[in-house]
Structure 1
Amino acid sequence: MFELRPLLEADLDAVLAIQSACYQPGFHESRQAFAAKLQATPQGCWLAVGKCGSECDVEALAYVFSVAVDAGQLPALDAQQISVPRQAEWLYLHDMAVAPVARTLGVAAALLARLEQVAAAQQLSSIVLIAVQASLPFWQRQGFAELQPLTPLLAAKLASYGPQARLLWRPLPSR
């Protein structure tokens, strides 16, 4: 069992530990970068906590960081400052990681559903993300598709994540 709760700055040590277990070092972000995202869009940052088994205490199992952005304006990896536009169009799912011990619990689906609620409450048109580390099939199963064609600015941003990175989007239902 797990529950979702808003992520707090006090949770950043747990976030860094999950990040370390899930990502290659080239994708690691600093505490300051996570804090900047949390400050920019606190309602878009969530933590899943629960038990990973009978022998485990309650612990952080997964996290998600998302930021409201203008279409085409995505924050860089490890950005130390984030500014949110007055009229954001997209919710940028910057990072979602599930600890290996929690990967069969449905945590990712629950976090994604929460982000859909966040985006709808802000009247945003889409959720976008950059898929890395061979995660493209997972995101496609969640209904995301590649965003094409890319503007030169988006192409440059995407290239900074490596040659396998893909910019994905999923429009939200009109309300």
Structure 2
Amino acid sequence: MALTWRLMRPDDIDAVVDVARLSFPDHFEDRACFDNRLALYPRGCFVLTEAEGPARGYLIAYPWKADSAPPLNTVIEGLPGEPALIYLHDLALHPEARGGGVTGAIVERLAEQAAGDGWPAVALVAVNDAADFWRRHGFQDRASDALAEKLASYGPDARYMVRPL
């Protein structure tokens, strides 16, 4: 069977944490962060699965402020009162699920959903030398003095990027 994207459910979180641990060893987030994001905005949480098997990848996104990124590995109390865009917090695949071109489908699904909901843009912080990947999906680097210190904590290659919708 082929891997397909579907909305995330609470029983997916253990597998999501496993994928995150493999994908982001230098930026790992606790289970509580994933539970928190799913509870805050389930519409922006997806998993890649084969039938009803465990998650082999995930995408988490939610409404947020422009030129801002929530702190890593932190539970947030709520979404901002006046969000300006959709923030793509995380996209990761299990190493065995990589290379099949499955990420483009979920990035486009998120962009179409966000545009349909009236959001003007999707933003993210690219890490692990992923900026070129995101550029291929319509994201553009955006300099932000307000984010400079926070981006430094993500590593020297971190880039704040925005895709207008």
- Structure 1 runs of 4+ off > 4 angstroms? none
Contact 2:12 2:54 in 1 (8 A): no
Asked whether the equivalents of residues 2 and 49 of structure 1 are also in contact (C-alpha less than 8 Å), the reply is yes
Q: Is 1:94 aligned to 2:89, yes or no?
A: yes
TM-score by length of 1: 0.86
Alignment of 1:19-168 (within 5 A): 19-24=20-25, 26-50=26-50, 58-148=53-143, 150-152=144-146, 154-168=147-161
Q: In the aligned structure 1, how far is the partner of 2:97 from the partner of 2:4?
A: 12
| Number of positions where the alignment pairs a residue of Structure 1 with one of Structure 2 | 164
Q: What amino acid does structure 1 have at the position aligned with 2:84?
A: E
Per-residue CA distance 1:74-121 (angstroms, 9 max, x = gap): 211112124213432111111000111111222211111121133123
Please state whether the residue corresponding to 1:84 is helix, strand or coil.
coil
d(CA) in 1 for partners of 2:34, 2:111: 20
What's the Cα RMSD here?
1.7
Note the C-alpha offset of 1:20: 1.7
Letter in 1 for 2:86: L
State whether residues 16 and 56 of structure 2, in contact with CA within 8 Å, keep that contact through their aligned partners in structure 1. Answer: no
Note the C-alpha offset of 1:7: 0.6
Question: What is the distance in 1 between the residues matched to 2:73 and 2:106?
Answer: 21
Cα separation, 2, equivalents of 1:105 and 1:50:
13
CA contact (8 A) 1:89 1:124 kept: yes
Uncovered stretches (5+) of structure 1, i.e. residues with no partner: 52-56
Displacement of 1:32 after TM fit?
A: 0.6
Structure-2 change in CA distance of 1:59 and 1:36 (3 Å): closer
Local SS of the residue matching 1:60:
coil
